[in-house]
C-alpha cells in the first residue's frame, strides 16, 4: 500500500506543509474514531475535482461499518456532493437524512480540515487541505449512556477544532506513541478552570490505584494530583500544564508504585480555551518493563566495556612478554597474538558505546586499520592504506569474527606481500541486502597462482569466514603484481527490520 505522502502528492493538489498537517491529524484519527463511535475517513482533493481517501480509522468502541479500507479509493458517489460542499464552503456539513450503506443506515458528517499556518498565530490556510468524514452506524441505535454522550460531545468539539484549524495543535511536542493513553483507557473532562466535569470509570480506577478514594467529578484535577504527589522530590515540570488542561502535552505521575500516563488536549472555540480533555492510562507494567530494559542495556554495555579492558590487559601482557623474549620466532608469535586480541577488543569497545548489540563496522575497521602502521614499522615497510565502500551496521556475531579475519588479511598483506617495500593496501567493501563482499588488495610480490599459504593466519581466516560466517574466501594474484583476497558473507541470518 502507498504511503500517505505518495497518495497525497499523486493527486498534485497538496503541498509538503499540507502533508505534514495530515500526518499529525492521522496520528489522532484512532482517538477521534473511538470518541465518535464511528469510522473516520480522510479525503484529499484529486486532479479531476474528486477526492481520494488517504486514511481510514475504525472505532474500537463500536462495530465498524466498512470491513475493507477505503485508502487509495475515490469518494463514493453518494458522499461526493457532501464532501465537495464541505471542501468548498470550509464548513461542517451533516447529512440531512440517513445514508444507506449496504442496507445499513448511517449518518455522515463531512468536516473540512483547515491548516493553521503557525503555532503562535491565528492565521489559517485559505482553503481546506482535506475533508474528514464520520460514518456512524444507526442500526445499533439505543439509549446512550452518560459516557457515550460525553465521548460524542468530545468528538464534536474536536470536529469543530479541526474545521477551525485548532486541532491538531502545532504546539504539541512530538513524542513516542508507546504507552499513549487511548479514549477507552480513561477520559477526564475539565472545564476552563481545570475542574473535573466527567471522569470515565477507567479513569477513576486509575486514580484509585494511586490512592485517591473520592469522586473525581467536582474536584480540581491539579489539586488531586498535588495531594497524590505530596512528598515527591522530583516532579515533571510539565505536570501543572497537563492537569489543568492548558497545554497539549503528555506526562506521567507515579504514586504508591502505580504509574499513570496523562495526555491533555485543550478544547478551544475560535482560539479561546473552553476546557480540556485529559486521557489517562495505567502504564505501571509498561514503565517497569522499560526500566528493566534500560537496566539490561546498561549491564550489557558495562560487560562489553569490562571485556574490552580485560582484552587490552591481555594484549599488553603479550606485548611485554614479546619484548622480553630472546627468540625471534616466539616474539613474532606473541606479537601476532597481541594484535588478534586487540582486534577483538575493538569490537567490544564499539559495542560498549551503543544502545544495541549492533556495531558500526566502518568505525570498527577504521580502528583496525591503525594496526597497519605498527606492523609496517616492524618490517621496515612503507604502506599507504586505502579503503572505500561501506560495511554498514553488523550484529556482534558478525562483527567479531570479521574484524579478526580482516586483521589477519591486512597483517599478511603487509608482512608477506609488502615486506621491506613501499606499496598500497586497499580494502573495498560492498553490501547488498543479501551479501557483504570485501576485497583486500596489495601491490606486493603476489602469490604463485593456485598456491595459498598454510600458516596459522590462513587457517584462522578460513575458520572464521567459512566456519563461523558461512561465507567464501578466494586468494588470487592480480595481473602485474600484488594479491587480492575476496570475501563474500551471506547476510541471511541478520534480522530484517
Please, where are the H alpha helices in 185-283?
A: 201-209, 221-228, 239-243
Q: How many domains does the chain have?
A: 4
Q: Which of 131, 164, 197 is the last residue of a domain?
A: 164
113 and 57 fall within a common domain: yes
147 and 36 fall within a common domain: yes
pLDDT at res. 94: 93
Q: Which of 158, 86, 165 is nearest to 122 (CA)?
A: 165
- Over residues 262-313, the pLDDT tens digits come to 999 999 988 889 999 999 999 888 877 777 776 777 777 777 778 778 878 8
Inside any domain, residue 367: no
pLDDT at res. 183: 92
50 and 151 fall within a common domain: yes
33 and 149 fall within a common domain: yes
Domain harbouring 132, CATH code: 3.30.450.280
11 and 146 fall within a common domain: yes
**Three cell numbers, residue 479:** 595481473
Q: Which of 69, 63, 11, 70 is nearest to 34 (CA)?
A: 63
Inside any domain, residue 373: no
Inside any domain, residue 377: no
406 and 342 fall within a common domain: no
Class of residue 70 by CB neighbours under 10 A (exposed 0-12, middle 13-18, buried 19+): buried
Contact in structure between 389 and 428 (CB atoms under 8 Å): yes
- Over residues 320-363, the pLDDT tens digits come to 888 888 888 888 778 777 777 777 777 677 666 665 567 788 88
134 and 19 fall within a common domain: yes
Contact in structure between 157 and 267 (CB atoms under 8 Å): yes
**Three cell numbers, residue 492:** 541471511
How distant, in Å, are the alpha carbons of 368, 444, 497 from that of 339? 9, 22, 35
Q: Determine the Cα–Cα distance for residues 270 and 449; give it in Å rounded to an integer.
A: 83
453 and 323 fall within a common domain: no
Q: Determine the Cα–Cα distance for residues 110 and 246; give it in Å rounded to an integer.
A: 28
82 and 21 fall within a common domain: yes
Inside any domain, residue 174: no
Q: Which of 267, 282, 297 is the last residue of a domain?
A: 282
Contact in structure between 488 and 437 (CB atoms under 8 Å): yes
pLDDT at res. 371: 67
Inside any domain, residue 136: yes
- pTM of the model as a whole: 0.65
Sign of the alpha-carbon torsion through 327, 328, 334, 337: negative
Q: Which of 282, 305, 320 is the last residue of a domain?
A: 282
Kind and range of the H or E run holding 16: helix 16-26
Low-confidence residues in the chain, pLDDT < 70: 1-2, 141, 173-179, 231-236, 294, 347, 350-357, 371-380, 417, 419-420, 445-455, 479-480, 493-497
Q: Determine the Cα–Cα distance for residues 185 and 12; give it in Å rounded to an integer.
A: 39
Inside any domain, residue 130: yes
How distant, in Å, are the alpha carbons of 176, 201, 258, 260 from that of 285? 17, 20, 9, 10
pLDDT at res. 449: 56
Q: Determine the Cα–Cα distance for residues 417 and 302; give it in Å rounded to an integer.
A: 40
352 and 408 fall within a common domain: no
Domain that holds residue 70: 4-164
| Per-residue burial over 88-108, b = 16 or more CB atoms within 10 Å of its CB, e = otherwise | eebebbebeeebebeeeebbb
Residue 11: partners with Cβ closer than 8 Å, 6 or more residues away = 44, 45, 46, 47, 52
pLDDT at res. 354: 60
Residue with cell 614479546: 322
pLDDT at res. 497: 43
Inside any domain, residue 188: yes
Return the SS3 of 356.
coil
Domain harbouring 225, CATH code: 3.30.450.20
Q: Determine the Cα–Cα distance for residues 141 and 152; give it in Å rounded to an integer.
A: 14
Inside any domain, residue 209: yes
129 and 258 fall within a common domain: no
Category of 133 on φ-ψ map: left (φ > 0), alpha (ψ -120 to 50) or beta: beta
Average pLDDT taken over every residue of the chain: 83
Q: Determine the Cα–Cα distance for residues 361 and 363; give it in Å rounded to an integer.
A: 5
Strand ranges in 58-195 using DSSP code E only, listed in sequence order = 93-94, 99-101, 104-113, 130-137, 187-191
453 and 313 fall within a common domain: no
Q: Determine the Cα–Cα distance for residues 444 and 31; give it in Å rounded to an integer.
A: 68
Amino acid at each position: 500500500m502507498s504511503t500517505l505522502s505518495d497518495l497525497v502528492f499523486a493527486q498534485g493538489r497538496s503541498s509538503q506543509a499540507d502533508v505534514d498537517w495530515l500526518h499529525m491529524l492521522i496520528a489522532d484519527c484512532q482517538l477521534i474514531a473511538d470518541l465518535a463511535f464511528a469510522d473516520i475517513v480522510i479525503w484529499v482533493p484529486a486532479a479531476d475535482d474528486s477526492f481520494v481517501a488517504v486514511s481510514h480509522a475504525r472505532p474500537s468502541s463500536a462495530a465498524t461499518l466498512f470491513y475493507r479500507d477505503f485508502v487509495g479509493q475515490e469518494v463514493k458517489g453518494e458522499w461526493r456532493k457532501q464532501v465537495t460542499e464541505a471542501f468548498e464552503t470550509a464548513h461542517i456539513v451533516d447529512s440531512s437524512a440517513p445514508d444507506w450503506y449496504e442496507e445499513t443506515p448511517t449518518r455522515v458528517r463531512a468536516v473540512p480540515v483547515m491548516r493553521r499556518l503557525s503555532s503562535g498565530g491565528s492565521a489559517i490556510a485559505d482553503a481546506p487541505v482535506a475533508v474528514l468524514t464520520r460514518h456512524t452506524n444507526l442500526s445499533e441505535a439505543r439509549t446512550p449512556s452518560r459516557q457515550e454522550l460525553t465521548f460524542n460531545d468530545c468528538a464534536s468539539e474536536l470536529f469543530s477544532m479541526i474545521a477551525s484549524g485548532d486541532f491538531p495543535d502545532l504546539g504539541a511536542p512530538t513524542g513516542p506513541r508507546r504507552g499513549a493513553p487511548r479514549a477507552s483507557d480513561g477520559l477526564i473532562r475539565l472545564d476552563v478552570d481545570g475542574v473535573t466535569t466527567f471522569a470515565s470509570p477507567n479513569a477513576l480506577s486509575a486514580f484509585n490505584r494511586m490512592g485517591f478514594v473520592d469522586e473525581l467529578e467536582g474536584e480540581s484535577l491539579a489539586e488531586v494530583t498535588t495531594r497524590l504527589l505530596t512528598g515527591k522530590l522530583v516532579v515533571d515540570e510539565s505536570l501543572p500544564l497537563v492537569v489543568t488542561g492548558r497545554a497539549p502535552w503528555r506526562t506521567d505521575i507515579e504514586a504508591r508504585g502505580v504509574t499513570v500516563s496523562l495526555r491533555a488536549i485543550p478544547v478551544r472555540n475560535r482560539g479561546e480555551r473552553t476546557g480540556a480533555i485529559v486521557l489517562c492510562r495505567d502504564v505501571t507494567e509498561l514503565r517497569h518493563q522499560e526500566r528493566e530494559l534500560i537496566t539490561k542495556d546498561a549491564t550489557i554495555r558495562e560487560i562489553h566495556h569490562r571485556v574490552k579492558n580485560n582484552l587490552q590487559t591481555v594484549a599488553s601482557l603479550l606485548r611485554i612478554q614479546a619484548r622480553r623474549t630472546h627468540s625471534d620466532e616466539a616474539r613474532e608469535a606473541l606479537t601476532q597474538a597481541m594484535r588478534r586480541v586487540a582486534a577483538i577488543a575493538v569490537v567490544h569497545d564499539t559495542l560498549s558505546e551503543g544502545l544495541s548489540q549492533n556495531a558500526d563496522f566502518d568505525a570498527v575497521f577504521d580502528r583496525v586499520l591503525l594496526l597497519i602502521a605498527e606492523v609496517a614499522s616492524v618490517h621496515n615497510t612503507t604502506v599507504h592504506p586505502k579503503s572505500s565502500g561501506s560495511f554498514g551496521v553488523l550484529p556482534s556475531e558478525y562483527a567479531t569474527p570479521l574484524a579478526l579475519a580482516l586483521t589477519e588479511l591486512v597483517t599478511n598483506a603487509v608482512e608477506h606481500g609488502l615486506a621491506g617495500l613501499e606499496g598500497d593496501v586497499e580494502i573495498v567493501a560492498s553490501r547488498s541486502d543479501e551479501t557483504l563482499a570485501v576485497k583486500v588488495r596489495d601491490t606486493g610480490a603476489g602469490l604463485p597462482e593456485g598456491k595459498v599459504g598454510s600458516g596459522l593466519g590462513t587457517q584462522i581466516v578460513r575458520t572464521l569466514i567459512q566456519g563461523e560466517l558461512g561465507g567464501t574466501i578466494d586468494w588470487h594474484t592480480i595481473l602485474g603484481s600484488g594479491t587480492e583476497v575476496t570475501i563474500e558473507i551471506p547476510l541471511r541470518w541478520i534480522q530484517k527490520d
